[in-house]
Amino acid sequence: MNILEIPRNDYKLWADKKLERFSNKIDDLIVEINNPSSLTKPEKTYMSNIINQHNIVFFQIDKEATDLKAAIKIMGSQIGLGNYEIDSKSDDDGLTEIKIHSKHQSNAEYIPYTNKKLNWHTDGYYNNNENLILSWILFCRTQSESGGMNKYMDHEIAYILFNEAYNNISDLMLHNTYTIPENTHTQRKAVDSPIFSFINGKLHMKFTMREKNILWNDKSQKAASNLKNIVNNSDEYHITHKFTEGQGVITNNVIHMRTPFTNLEKKNRLLYRLRSKKRMEV
């Protein structure tokens, strides 16, 4: 809910309900799926109920599909996802393999393709407003030996906690709250973005903890720093989980991070990712 446009009492009712219903217990947030290529009505209903409350739902595939990549794509289409982001690292349908790349490969310069810590961010924070990432699927094909713990935080809760502590949310909703400078290597133009905005009535967040190659609007810098502190220090609202093989997660682009990890011997940690320009709808 947009605190700048609705009565305070309505906002407070929504915010209080959101915090009261929060759970960071995986058992409350996970759905067992028998066949990802053909979701049952109860499976879809359960997934919908969880993501509508938490903006995140985990899933466990009970038996391995013959073609897991195809099955994950089909599952996405059944819950309203689509219009996937396609780039140089994805296949023609937008599915990307997230794994460690050799130091000699171009992808090795990007943190998601290494075993280094991946700090708090939302996907697509560097995308322009015509190519917003509204949701994504991540599925574990091969897990790491140690480390590789993921943490998630519902962006609506970050928004609520900020509004509880401060009264300058508008400083985070400027069209140029931050700027990602032009990247001549990838030919990406400079991108101005708000942190918080509303897309079709739903709160959307573009956020990163990165310190290099980002310019903060002078008016927004203090508010952004306060928001970072809230995200870092709100452990009670973090959802912590390490994927095992056959598990995945779907989110309406919540804030997330990953700890460093070590691979199994002769086995590369492998995740499949789909980034959608549509929210999950069932």
Type and span of the H or E element at 228: helix 221-233
What is the homologous superfamily of the domain 8-276 according to CATH? Clavaminate synthase-like (3.60.130.10)
Mean pLDDT across the stretch 162-176?
Answer: 97
Domain boundaries, the chain: 8-276
Residue 148: how many other CB atoms lie within 10 Å: 20
Q: Is the predicted pLDDT of residue 109 greater than 90, yes or no?
A: no
Q: Are 144 and 268 contacting, i.e. CB atoms less than 8 angstroms apart?
A: no
| C-alpha distances in Å from residue 191, one per residue of 55, 129, 187, 202 | 26, 9, 12, 22
**pLDDT tier, 107 (very low <50, low <70, confident <90, very high otherwise):** very low
| C-alpha distances in Å from residue 215, one per residue of 190, 193, 206, 248 | 10, 11, 14, 34
Q: Is the predicted pLDDT of residue 135 greater than 70, yes or no?
A: yes
| C-alpha distances in Å from residue 87, one per residue of 76, 93, 97 | 18, 10, 12
Strands 255-258 and 150-153: what pairing? antiparallel
* pLDDT, tens only, 255-270: 999 988 777 666 778 8
Can you give the three-state secondary structure of 20-31, one letter per residue?
Answer: HCCCCCHHHHEE
**What pLDDT score was predicted for residue 208?**
96
**pLDDT tier, 281 (very low <50, low <70, confident <90, very high otherwise):** confident
Q: What does the mean pLDDT of the chain come to?
A: 90
Comparing 172 with 187, the larger pLDDT belongs to: 172
* pLDDT, tens only, 205-248: 999 998 888 999 999 999 999 999 999 999 999 999 999 999 99
CA distance 272 to 48: 21
**What pLDDT score was predicted for residue 106?**
47
* pLDDT, tens only, 53-89: 999 999 999 877 678 899 999 999 999 999 998 887 7
CA distance 57 to 31: 8
**What pLDDT score was predicted for residue 160?**
98
